[in-house]
Chain A
Amino acid sequence: MTDFSVVGKPLHKVDSLSLACGTARYTSDYEIHEPLYLVFAYSNVAHGDILSVDDAGAREIDGVVDVFHSFNTSSDLFTTAGQGYPEPSPYDTRLFNKRVRYVGEIVAAVVAESRSVALAAAKAIKIEYSELPTLFDPERSREKDAPCLHGEGAFAPLPVPYRPEENVAGEVLFSFGDPEKGFAEADFIVDETYRTHYAAHCAMEPHAASAFFDEKGRLVIVSSTQVPFHARRTVSKITGIPARMIRVVKPRIGGGFGSKQEIILEPYVALAAWKFKRNVKAELERSEVFTTARTRHPMRVRIRTGVKNDGTVTALEMDDVMNTGAYGAHALTVLSNAGSKVLPMFNKIENMAFTGRAVYTNLPVGGAYRGYGATQGYFAFNQHMDGIARRLGVDFLEFVKRWHIREGETSEVFKAIGEGTEGVDQTIKSCKLDECIDRGAEEIGWKRLRGKKISRGSVVKGVGAAISMQGSGIPKVDMGSASMKMNDDGSFNLYVGATDIGTGSDTILSQIAAETLKVPLHMIFILSSDTDLTPFDTGAYASSTTYVSGQAVLRCAQDIRSQILSVAAAMSGSAPDDLALKENGIAVNSKTGEELPFDRIACFSMYSHDQFQIQASASFTGSESPAPFMAQFAEVEVDTETGRVRVVKFVSAGDCGRPLNPTLVEGQIEGATLNGISYALTEQYLFNSKGKMTNASFWDYKIFGTLDLPVMKTIVVDSDEPTGPYGAKSISEIGINGPAPAIANAIHDAVGIRMNELPMTPEKVLRALRERGEREGGA
């Protein structure tokens, strides 16, 4: 293992201090000169046509500047999904749809001199609807008499399956081998259906966007976005404002987790700003973030598996119905990931089929959410396999070790399922899943607890596990780039399009550059995500930043290194091959021993002879998407009289290649894990019979706080991905996949019930215990 001096070290995040001192600015902190405030009015009807919008009362209020709605503002169809162009999501929405499709849909935007006036005006808008029959059950979306939610012109810009007449927003079908033959050969077949639920990201910073004019009259958009470049392109397409007149700047972002991989506020803010040539601010209230921003797609996953008594899995079929809500942002791609990230895990199964459909309903819109389909798929997969292992009488962990994909292996699934485009074949080059399993099992006390049902009164202990893999960027699609220049003091400016949303990408990208140039971290100054000043990057999603953007930075820094060495060679009258870099920014001549510090080299290149600016740029797109791997374990206590499940301890053991910054890697795992735990147990969207979310508030949408914490242990195993920058793979999403299935498997270990539906609330657990008791004759 090579010794690195910057990479692999737990260095402080370059922005931590400014965040801890309150000097860093989020979108709403930017002082905007005399802004107009933009506020939305929403549909209170789940499905209906707008007959009229009476904005007279709103316009009369002193301070109201304009009211935009479907009768005075037209737009082409688009998708709000922040994805590469053309997007794999259908173009099925306009700025203001004449037909509304869920409670919480934007129906008007008020612009006024103050926020309170705008809010009052929004309340004064009167809208008349002609209500249409509603569709809330995704499993009924394709029935003949189901209402059709989309039709007038909605289309998919890419040649992907899209059948709005059947309410199908996306479809993925693939198979290999001969599943029916495989089932025929099985000794037993397990057929189970699992259901995952709506969830909100709950980033602490609500969505916000501001648009203001610079001194040249160009529009600058500051937005809480994960996708500044996609935002610029999309805003231009929707509003008609020429893209060259738009600059998008990403400020500090207060969390995203996928909720801000979406272009929601920016087009409205830009439209209003451009019309009045005034600055405009918008901020969503927390309740609006719940209903009107994006969510995790609920999914019904049915897995049917053929198994021989010797443990051979002869066939596996996965059939997913995914509720994409009223609009299809991320529909196809999240659905794809439920198969593409899950099915390769047991790559030795010779007969496999995946059938997936994303369907429209009159409910809140699904979007990108950490895990992106894999979370839903793994909830089903891990419970399914846990059940099969039990039936075979083998330990779940041993069963997993027998079947999982290994270094040097591939899976037909990689080629078969892409994300709107073709899948990409790849071979696993780093996989330390076995070590993750072994070390995690040791830490949780697997042998001590598994199957022992240790109890105290009515409380029974259990332990469960879950495994998962994810990806590192979308291969052959996601592109990141970087440029660097050297300053005359020997420091460097690094410009990346990559979007730090709190993850620490600014830091690890700087670490890559610093390591390559053998300088301490503080000699790199990074500027990221400004469409004027930095090169392109797809943005913070698909776990792409470390692997894809990181490779761009690596190549850029390598180019800089060669330039430095050639200048040093010229200075010392040698060939570049005689020069090498030493620690702390020094080039040393191996023949003469002469040392040339970077500041002298820079000055020479700028001022002395054959002057030029030492600078470089590089881009990278992955030709594969190396998977991080994780084994996660939960020790739970189930109170059999109340149904309450307490997670006593949770262990996450992960392989992310070489951790470029162990502290940041742990932080990603810990945050994702706790999010996954409360997703499994306490988070839920409650709807009334009219499709309105009734708990759009932190008072009733419950996430874990400090009083709820299990003991959490994080294990990062040593690994090395040969195709990754300094051996790194991604880590940011995968941690959220394991908690729900690990907890479900632990509950089963404790009390023998299968919780096939999320969330596993006390009432549901108690009911399942009762039903089991009744089945077993009142035990």
Chain B
Amino acid sequence: MSTVQWYFPETLDEAISYLGRDKTVIHGGGTSLIKSGIASFEGIVDLSKLGLNYLKADKGILEIGASTTFGEVAESLANLHPECILGKALGSAASTPMRNRITLGGSVSLLPLWSDLIGPMSVLHGVICTEGRNGGTYDLPAWIADRTLQRGSLVTSLLFPDAVDWRAYYHRETRVGFDYPSLTVSVLARKNNNTIEKVRIAVSGGLDRIRRLKELEERLSGADLSILSSPDLRKMASVEFGGKPAGSPEYLSEIAAVRVERALKAVLMEEES
């Protein structure tokens, strides 16, 4: 029988003070702790009283509190910015009841291989704001590179400085509709008539968890739309995968390339829906 203690801090300082303790973990309202169990911890810090559940959209800059759920983000963005890739991704993740519990903070802390947040974060150049021992603002590569940054600190919000006015396409590869993705493809693009101005492409779920296809991005930037019929496109979208229940490494790699090609064509050549 566990003797874990629940804390319900009402200020950030209080919350952070608890985090400094041994064997103490954050509960943002999400579901990951349920899976892993809390019996081995001594303290759980519940964030629900900290007011970190908010979404601000101002001049294309999105600031979202860490305790905001995927469902809340998807619903707000569906009203404010329906074309935003973040809303599309989070709105299709998991299932309706799960989206009502998974939080941005929890998701970015764990960034599991099947994350639906990591792709949009990567292409939107989202940053993570934290308070506490290593408090600061981190971009995704820095955040992923150093997992120790999270110790003793609390994710308070995610910031997306350039969230709108992009053509966006999100694909998650699943076995059935309600499933975690074996890979995701996130594409943002801006074009001017038949010229591709700028494009950002991220594939998640591979061996390096998240990969920006920088070579392909450079090749496409400034190019004419006709480049999308090039047979080289898929070769440049090559990402390595480990084997998963959904498929072998070879299969997933092939599918990822197909999905990237289709995403590019959809986002650049089809009418805005």
Q: 9 shortest A-B CB distances, which residue pairs? A: A707-B177, A763-B251, A702-B175, A702-B176, A763-B247, A700-B245, A705-B178, A641-B258, A708-B176
A525 beta carbon closer than 8 Å to chain B: no
Alpha-carbon gap, A352 to B131, bound state (A): 78
Residues of B with C-beta under 8 A to A702: 175-176, 179
Which residues on the B side are within 8 Å of A708 (C-beta)?
Answer: 176-177
Please report whether the interface of chain B is mostly helix, strand, loop or mixed according to DSSP: loop
B245 close to A686 (CB less than 8 A): yes
A705-B176, A708-B176 known; A763 and B248 CB under 8 Å?
Answer: yes
The minimal Cβ–Cβ distance linking A460 to chain B, given in whole angstroms, is 16
Q: Which residue of A lies closest to B177 (CB)?
A: A707
Beyond A699-B180, A762-B251, 10 additional contacts (C-beta under 8 Å) are A116-B1, A642-B255, A642-B258, A642-B259, A705-B176, A705-B177, A707-B177, A761-B247, A762-B247, A762-B255
Subset of 7 A-B contacts with CB under 8 Å: A116-B1, A694-B245, A704-B176, A705-B177, A707-B176, A708-B177, A763-B247
Query: Cβ of A642: which chain B residues have Cβ within 8 Å of it?
Result: 255, 258-259
Give the CA-CA distance A415 to B251 in the complex, in Å. 49
- Cα distance A706–B97 when bound, in Å? 14
Assess A703 versus B247: contact at CB under 8 Å? Given A116-B1, A642-B255, A642-B258. no
A682-B247 Cα distance, complex, nearest whole Å:
12
Give B3 Cβ to nearest chain A Cβ, in Å.
Answer: 14
A731 CB-CB contact with B under 8 Å: no
User: In this assembly, does A695 line the interface, its C-beta being within 8 Å of a C-beta of chain B?
Assistant: yes
B1 nearest in chain A by CB position: A116
Question: Does chain B have a CB within 8 A of A766?
Answer: yes
CA distance A704 to B178 in the complex (A): 9
The contact string, 1 if C-beta is below 8 Å from chain B, for chain A 558-588, is 0000000000000000000000000000000
A116 to B176, CA, bound (A): 34
> Which of A694, A703, A766: most chain B CB closer than 10 A?
A766
How far is B192's CA from A312's CA once the two chains are assembled, in angstroms?
Answer: 66
Q: Is the CB of A661 closer than 8 A to any CB of chain B?
A: no
| The one of A678, A686, A694 that contacts B176, using a Cβ cutoff of 8 Å | A678
Query: How many A-B residue pairs lie within 8 Å, measured between CB atoms?
Result: 36
Chain B residues with CB under 8 Å of A762's CB are 247, 251, 255
Query: CB within 8 Å of A: which of B164-184?
Result: 175-180
CB-defined contacts of B255 to chain A, threshold 8 Å: 642, 762
Give the residues in chain A near B247, CB-CB below 8 Å.
Answer: 761-763
Contact with B along A143-168 (1 / 0, CB 8 A): 00000000000000000000000000
Interface residue tally of chain B, by bracket? 10 to 19
A766 to B247, CA, bound (A): 11
Partner of B251, one of A682, A704, A766: A766
Residues from chain A with a CB closer than 8 A to the CB of B245 are: 686, 694-695, 700
Chain B residues with Cβ below 8 Å from A766 are: 251, 254
Chain A positions 112 through 154: 1 when the CB is less than 8 Å from some CB of chain B, otherwise 0? 0000100000000000000000000000000000000000000
Identify the A interface with B (CB < 8 A): 116, 641-642, 678, 682, 686, 694-695, 699-700, 702-708, 761-763, 766
A416 to B247, CA, bound (A): 44
- Nearest-CB residue, chain A, relative to B254: A766
Asked whether A706 lies within 8 Å of B248 as measured between CB atoms, the reply is: no
Give the residue name and chain of the A residue nearest to B248 (CB). A763
Residue of B nearest to A116 (CB): B1
Shortest distance between the CB of A274 and any CB in chain B (Å): 29
Nearest neighbor of B173 in chain A, beta-carbon distance: A642
Q: Give residues in B with beta carbon < 8 Å to A.
A: 1, 175-180, 245, 247-248, 251, 254-255, 258-259
Query: For the complex, what is the distance from the CA of A707 to the CA of B177, rounded to whole Å?
Result: 5
* Cβ–Cβ < 8 Å partners of A763 in chain B: 247-248, 251
Q: How far is the CA of A706 from the CA of B178 in the complex (A)?
A: 9
- In the complex, A762→B248 CA distance in Å? 11
Tell me, in angstroms, the Cα distance from A700 to B175 when the chains sit together. 9
Chain A nearest CB, measured from B116 CB (Å): 15
Provide the bound-state CA to CA distance between A766 and B179, in Å: 21
**Contact partners of B175 in chain A: CB under 8 A:** 682, 702
Instruction: Specify which chain B residues have a CB less than 8 angstroms from the CB of A704 in the assembled complex.
Output: 176
The residue on A at minimum CB distance from B245 is A700
CB distance from B251 to the nearest CB of A (A): 4
| B-chain residues with CB within 8 Å of residue A703 when the two chains form the complex | 176
B255's closest neighbor in chain A, by CB?
Answer: A642
Chain A residues with Cβ below 8 Å from B1 are 116
A116 to chain B, nearest CB (A): 7
Bound-state Cα–Cα, A435 to B111, Å: 56
Q: B247: nearest residue on chain A (CB-CB)?
A: A763
Please name the residue on chain A nearest to B265 by beta carbon.
A457
A675 to chain B, nearest CB (A): 13
Chain A residue, CB-CB nearest to B257: A641
Q: Min CB distance, B195 to chain A, in Å?
A: 25
Q: Complex formed: what's the CA distance from A761 to B182 in Å? A: 14
Q: Report the minimal beta-carbon distance from A540 to chain B, rounded to whole angstroms.
A: 28
Contact B258 A706 (CB under 8 A): no
Q: Which of B1, B175, B258 has the most CB of A within 10 A?
A: B175
Asked if A707 and B178 sit within 8 Å, CB to CB, the answer is: yes
> How far apart are the CA atoms of A762 and B247 in the complex, in Å?
8
Rounded to whole angstroms, the CA-CA distance of A702 and B176 in the bound complex is 7
Q: Which chain B residues border A707 with CB–CB below 8 Å? A: 176-178
Which residues of chain A are within 8 angstroms of B178 by Cβ–Cβ distance? 705, 707
- A705 / chain B contacts, CB cutoff of 8 Å: 176-178
Q: Kindly list chain A residues whose C-beta atoms are within 8 Å of the C-beta of B179.
A: 702
**Residue of A with least CB distance to B35:** A699
Q: Which residues of chain A are near B259, meaning CB under 8 Å?
A: 642
How far is A703 from B177 in the complex, measured between Cα atoms in Å? 10
State how many angstroms separate the Cβ of B206 from the closest Cβ of chain A: 17
Instruction: Look across to chain B and name the residue whose beta carbon is closest to the beta carbon of A698.
Output: B178
B2 — nearest CB in chain A belongs to which residue? A116
Distance A705 CA – B259 CA, assembled complex (angstroms): 23
A423 shortest CB reach to chain B, Å: 40
Q: Which of B178, B258, B259 has most A Cβ within 10 Å? A: B178
* CB of B58, distance to nearest CB on chain A (Å): 34
A700 / chain B contacts, CB cutoff of 8 Å: 245
Minimum CB–CB distance for B171 against chain A, Å: 11
Complexed CA–CA distance, A601 and B46 (Å) = 69
Among B248, B255, B259, the one with the most A-chain Cβ atoms within 10 Å of its Cβ is B255
Q: Which residues of A contact B254 (CB under 8 A)?
A: 766
Q: How far is the CA of A702 from the CA of B175 in the complex (A)?
A: 7
Chain B residues in 8 Å Cβ range of A761: 247
CB distance from A123 to the nearest CB of B (A): 12
Return the chain B residue nearest A706 by Cβ: B177
Output the nearest chain B residue to A700 by Cβ-Cβ distance.
B245
Residues of B near A699 (CB, < 8 A) are 180
**Looking across the interface, which residue of chain A has its beta carbon closest to that of B261?**
A641
Minimal Cβ-Cβ distance residue in B for A709: B177
Q: How far is the CA of A247 from the CA of B220 in the complex (A)?
A: 75
A411 to chain B, nearest CB (A): 39
A682 with B176: CB separation less than 8 A: yes
In the bound assembly, the distance between CA atoms of A455 and B248 in angstroms comes to 28
How far is A705 from B251 in the complex, measured between Cα atoms in Å? 25
Complex contacts, B251 vs chain A, CB 8 Å = 762-763, 766
Q: A694: which B residues are within 8 A, CB to CB?
A: 245
B69 to chain A, nearest CB (A): 20
Complex-state Cα separation, A206 to B179, whole angstroms: 21
CA distance A705 to B175 in the complex (A): 11
Rounded to whole Å, the gap between the CB of B119 and the closest CB of chain A is 19
Q: Among A116, A686, A700, A703, find the residue whose CB has the most chain B CB atoms closer than 10 A.
A: A700
In the bound complex, residues from chain A placing their C-beta under 8 Å from that of B248 are 763
With both chains docked as a complex, state the minimum distance between the C-beta of B246 and any C-beta of chain A, in angstroms: 8
Q: Please, how many angstroms separate the alpha-carbon atoms of A562 and B215 in the complex?
A: 88
B residues within 8 A CB of A116? 1
Residues of B within 8 Å of A706, CB to CB, are: 177
